Amino acid sequence: MFNQLRPAITLTLFFTLLTGIAYPLAITGAAQAMLPNQANGSQITRNGVLVGSHLIGQAFASPRYFQGRPSAVNYDASTSSGSNLGPSSKALLEQLNQRVAAYGGAKVPADLVTASGSGLDPDISPAGALVQVARVATARGISEDVLKTLIAAETRGPDLGILGEPRVNVLDLNLALDGLKP
């Protein structure tokens, strides 16, 4: 019986070390060497202080800032999840109506009133940013044209020119907004 157990135990230990320790360490090392910013979460720092990540949305409550998509998890990356409310849900309809009303009841791009699947989407559509221009311009006392130019500068096109839609990273936009001269 030991003759049968010994190879099984040996192989279990070998593959545990290979796939559980050696491979993850090798991939982590390669990622750190080739793409250190992405491997560390695409973090954004200003004056040595971590302010966020390009990959994870965050709440901006002040009217002086552009706001991102709603989050079913209050932007908590440890609990990434959607709301799981279906299209016939009365609770979802109430949430959508409240969110549309918060933008004045006008035509509001869907990305400003619907949460993403993860609840952490860092981007909004350029149209979603443009809907907020009047509020931000009033709160900051700056020209709407300046904000529209800033949005255009911060808009990224589809990946590889064909994948996805144009989008604006809300954190990048707000940091650029803070960088404007008063």
pLDDT tens for residues 29-86? 999 999 988 888 888 888 888 888 888 888 888 999 999 988 888 888 778 777 777 8
**Tokens at residue 61, please?**
């409550």
Mark whether 31 and 98 lie in a shared domain: no
Mark whether 95 and 13 lie in a shared domain: no
Q: How distant is the alpha carbon of residue 80 from its chain centre? A: 11
Mark whether 86 and 163 lie in a shared domain: yes
The structural domain count of the chain equals 2
Per the structure, the complete domain to which residue 20 belongs is given by 2-37
Stretch 152-176: mean pLDDT: 92
Stretch 126-154: mean pLDDT: 93
Mark whether 24 and 60 lie in a shared domain: no
Mean residue pLDDT of the chain comes to 88
Residue 41: C-alpha distances to residues 2, 34, 36, 125, 137 (Å): 47, 14, 9, 22, 31
State pLDDT tens for residues 74-128: 888 778 777 777 888 898 888 888 888 888 877 889 888 888 878 788 999 999 9
**Residue 154's pLDDT band (boundaries 50, 70, 90)?**
very high
Mark whether 65 and 27 lie in a shared domain: no
Look at residues 157, 156, 162, 159 and name the one whose alpha carbon lies nearest to residue 176.
156
Mark whether 15 and 72 lie in a shared domain: no
pLDDT score of 27: 95
Mark whether 76 and 118 lie in a shared domain: yes
Q: Are 130 and 148 in contact (CB under 8 A)?
A: yes
How far apart CA 173 and CA 136 sit, in angstroms, is 12
How far apart CA 173 and CA 42 sit, in angstroms, is 16
Mark whether 13 and 86 lie in a shared domain: no
pLDDT score of 115: 83
Q: Are 111 and 69 in contact (CB under 8 A)?
A: yes
Query: Any bridge partners for residue 53, and if so which?
Result: 43
Mark whether 99 and 148 lie in a shared domain: yes
pLDDT score of 182: 63
